[in-house]
Chains A and B, each alone.
Chain A
Amino acid sequence: MKLGYYFGGRASRLVPYLLLLPGMLLYFFVSLGPSLATVFYSFTDASGLLGAPMHFVGLSNYQEFLFMGQNIRDNADVLVRTLEFSFLVTVIQTGLGLAAAMLLNQRLAATTVFRTVFFLPVILGVTIVGLTWTLFLYPVGGPAEKLLNLLGGRSEFLGGPPFQAFLWVTWVQIWANMGVTMIIFLGGLQTIPSELVEAARMDGAGGWQTFRSVTFPLLTPSLNTNLTLAIIGSLQAWQLLLVMKGVTNGTQVLGLIIYAIAFGRTSANPTSVAMRQGYGAAASVVLFVLVLIIGMGAQVLMRQRERRVLG
């Protein structure tokens, strides 16, 4: 019996689409549908409450978010901070992940144990990671403070100046996600034929030259995957900031202020404020556009590099 029999007839041509339908429906209801609804809500004054009246307000949410009063300054600050966060996380996480993968791709003792240890934070979840580091950085008798005291210093760590706290959260974000980067690079390293490396060495290439001219170019697909994941993930990350810093001036990123706006939590009025999910939806559309532009720009650059390096 030929497989083509099932897909040859007119009716049976529908079979693949029918088989795809459940997955497409799931994607529509879980991902695409809510995304389209977010765009719709961004033109309304929706509060997110069942039964609350909702009105069409045109572009006023966008006008308020981008241009009204000091919003332009505050949101520009947040935007710059989001980009800084994304840049730092992407560069350092990719660099450290690659270094760890190179190290653990050697025939050394206990590499499996170290791979597990590096990957462990990934499965802990944001809340546990955030609380663990908050305890470690506790400025009144916490482990980090005791270590610093031994060196004659002291710090407020997460409670100090906003940029200092921001750097700590950036580091924790890297620490928590570096395991995934490392695993992807490890997978890439294991696809590189050992003959190529051996040939390079026989031709007299040293360790660094072998890495630069053989290993790194062949890791391009893994590198592209990691960069894409890190860029998109860091642009959308906000949960760790919420757990470790809350909603405070000077440490907010776009994802966090979207949450704060939509669910009535801002640093200005911590306990009781209006619920503005329509306004929050407009902010999240702005974030989507930002991620789209940066993500697509990065994709284009990475594909160009891939064609250049791998042909």
Chain B
Amino acid sequence: MRIQKVFLAAALIAAAPLCLFSQGVTLELLIHQNAPLVDYITSFNEKFHAQYPNITVNVSVVKADELATSTQTRLTANDVDIIDMFGFAQGIQPFMKNADKPNWQTLIEAGLLMDLTGQPFLKNYDASAVRDAGSFNGKVYEVNTGRYAFTGVFYNKDLFKKYGVKVPTTWGQLVAACQTFKKNNIAPMTAGGKDGWPVLVAGYGILLSAYPDQAALVKGLWTGSITWNDARSLDMWKKMQVLARDMIEPGASGIAFDAAPGRFASGAAAMLPAGSWDAPAIAAANPKLNFGYFPMPGSDNPADNKYLAGKYDVGWIVAAGTDKKDAAMKWLAFFSQPENYQAYVNATGIMPTQPTAKLNTVLGREVAPYLANFRLGYELLWVNPKGFGQWAQPNASFFKPFNQWDDARKLADQAQADLDAGLKANR
């Protein structure tokens, strides 16, 4: 009898953790604001919960430009398990003297990111994506889920057809197209100017046409073989001014990033220079809209305008301090299953990093011709020298009406002076 009691007590003690586990685990997930992504993750989590009833996922959503801050604070507080982090970028090159490390490297070196090397679900992804967008010193810390192009322009095919405008392949054609729309009281372009960065991104297409080799541009600026006020760059600034002043509609400075796709979808503007991440939001806002996507023609030479640049976007990192590793790995494995991943690609319009997935959407067909020449954009490669001035970046939103500049030559000189100050300070 006594032995039975001892066994019973031992069994109860052994079962206690199981009882606790069966009460359920709540994974804390942090993602950035992007309507299609948020919608997909919400529905995916329901599916995941149905598969693993004892695991619930609690999602926090922050604006894209607050993601790095939230990642830092929540990892330090250790109250998050899985975080959406943009693909690793802005790594320090040998010619970048005294530059700061990117945040992802700081997080890894602080021991805050879990080493995912060897996890079975990684085999579902392109080895190059795993290596380029989520690895450091031979270890994998991020599962990158896809790429977006951000140097293209969405266009309303019906409006183009109605006013006899062809898809522009040169800068001159783009200017003419905008004039046609203006004459017919249609805003040529809209943009989410309230958040600032969408206008910056809109100008990246012009930058890409001026410097199709973005890696060479970054090296050239650091080493002095390219300047922001040389003839080619000055041409770029002038075009950025035209973009900000004449092409993007008045009042765009008040339109939020996530409201711009809806405005474009409503037919209020003929074009939306934006990242391909906006495609699902456009389709959702107006399912009947007949739209396409073309590379921003920033040059009068069509050969310079045949590229799309972009970035590795959403990726998953796991907090090293999580006590829910098993649940987090289950979530990542479930996400990475080919059928779930394909649904994710369909919902978000992201260019897949799993070789078996296909982007079978309008956007997928539009960007397909440019994928062979797809390249990483400037902002993924550029690192600011310490002591640089605030105008040392190729930003179309520096021009009026978004900011104070109305002379491209003066801004070009200021940008170079601000860059030079940083470069000299670090020699």
CA distance A161 to B75 in the complex (A): 37
A106 CB-CB contact with B under 8 Å: no
Give the interface size bracket for B toward A: 35 or more
Q: Is the CB of A69 within 8 A of B195?
A: no
A201 CB-CB contact with B under 8 Å: no
Chain A residues with CB under 8 Å of B89's CB are 272
Known: A69-B424, A162-B404, A271-B64. A51 touches B110 (CB 8 A): yes
Closest-by-CB residue of A relative to B263 is: A140
Indicate with 1 or 0, residue by residue over A273-285, a CB within 8 angstroms of chain B CB atoms: 1111000000000
Known: A137-B254, A275-B72, A276-B100. A161 touches B400 (CB 8 A): yes
CA distance A249 to B101 in the complex (A): 23
Indicate with 1 or 0, residue by residue over B42-76, a CB within 8 angstroms of chain A CB atoms: 00000000000000000000001111110011011
CA distance A186 to B103 in the complex (A): 51
CA distance A248 to B65 in the complex (A): 12
Indicate with 1 or 0, residue by residue over A192-212, a CB within 8 angstroms of chain B CB atoms: 000000000000000000000
Q: Is the CB of B255 within 8 A of A64?
A: no
Indicate with 1 or 0, residue by residue over B390-425, a CB within 8 angstroms of chain A CB atoms: 111100011011111000000000000110011011
Q: Is the CB of A154 within 8 A of B110?
A: no
Give the interface size bracket for A toward B: 35 or more
Q: Is the CB of B197 within 8 A of A270?
A: yes
CA distance A276 to B89 in the complex (A): 18
Indicate with 1 or 0, residue by residue over A146-162, a CB within 8 angstroms of chain B CB atoms: 00000000101111111
Q: Is the CB of A265 within 8 A of B403?
A: no
Known: A158-B254, A159-B253, A265-B69. A70 touches B421 (CB 8 A): yes
What's the minimum C-beta distance from A246 to chain B, rounded to whole angstroms? 6
B220 CB-CB contact with A under 8 Å: no
B172 CB-CB contact with A under 8 Å: no
Q: Is the CB of B384 within 8 A of A268?
A: yes
Chain B residues with CB under 8 Å of A275's CB are 68, 72, 103, 106
Known: A68-B387, A250-B403. A264 touches B68 (CB 8 A): yes
CA distance A195 to B379 in the complex (A): 71
What's the minimum C-beta distance from A247 to chain B, rounded to whole angstroms? 8
CA distance A6 to B73 in the complex (A): 49
Q: Is the CB of B404 within 8 A of A272?
A: no
Closest-by-CB residue of B relative to A71 is: B387
Chain B residues with CB under 8 Å of A269's CB are 90, 379, 384
Known: A263-B69, A264-B72, A268-B390. A52 touches B384 (CB 8 A): no
Indicate with 1 or 0, residue by residue over A252-272, a CB within 8 angstroms of chain B CB atoms: 000000000001110111111
Q: Is the CB of A156 within 8 A of B401?
A: yes
Within 8 A of B (CB), among A38-88: 47-53, 64, 68-71, 73-74
B107 CB-CB contact with A under 8 Å: yes
Chain B residues with CB under 8 Å of A288's CB are none
B224 CB-CB contact with A under 8 Å: no
Known: A70-B387, A250-B403, A270-B65. A49 touches B107 (CB 8 A): yes
Q: Is the CB of A249 within 8 A of B403?
A: yes
B157 CB-CB contact with A under 8 Å: no
Q: Is the CB of B253 within 8 A of A64?
A: no
A125 CB-CB contact with B under 8 Å: no
Chain B residues with CB under 8 Å of A70's CB are 387-390, 392, 417-418, 421-422
Indicate with 1 or 0, residue by residue over B238-251, a CB within 8 angstroms of chain A CB atoms: 00000000000011
Q: Is the CB of A268 within 8 A of B103?
A: no
Closest-by-CB residue of B relative to A274 is: B100
Closest-by-CB residue of A relative to B100 is: A274
Q: Is the CB of A69 within 8 A of B422?
A: yes
Q: Is the CB of A139 within 8 A of B403?
A: no
Chain B residues with CB under 8 Å of A48's CB are 72, 76
Indicate with 1 or 0, residue by residue over B101-125, a CB within 8 angstroms of chain A CB atoms: 1111011011110000000000000
CA distance A50 to B110 in the complex (A): 7
A187 CB-CB contact with B under 8 Å: no
CA distance A276 to B102 in the complex (A): 11
What's the minimum C-beta distance from A147 to chain B, rounded to whole angstroms? 15
Q: Is the CB of A161 within 8 A of B68?
A: no
Q: Is the CB of A49 within 8 A of B401?
A: no
Known: A48-B72, A159-B253, A250-B404. A271 touches B196 (CB 8 A): no
Chain A residues with CB under 8 Å of B78's CB are 50
Known: A52-B110, A271-B197. A156 touches B250 (CB 8 A): yes
Q: Is the CB of B193 within 8 A of A69?
A: no
Indicate with 1 or 0, residue by residue over A6-29, a CB within 8 angstroms of chain B CB atoms: 000000000000000000000000
CA distance A134 to B197 in the complex (A): 18
Beyond A69-B386, A69-B424, A273-B103, list 6 extra A-B contacts (CB 8 Å). A49-B106, A50-B112, A156-B253, A157-B253, A158-B194, A264-B72
Interchain Cβ contacts under 8 Å between A and B, 23 examples: A47-B106, A48-B72, A49-B112, A50-B112, A64-B386, A70-B390, A70-B422, A74-B390, A134-B194, A139-B251, A158-B253, A246-B196, A250-B404, A263-B69, A265-B65, A265-B69, A269-B379, A270-B65, A271-B65, A271-B379, A272-B90, A274-B101, A275-B103
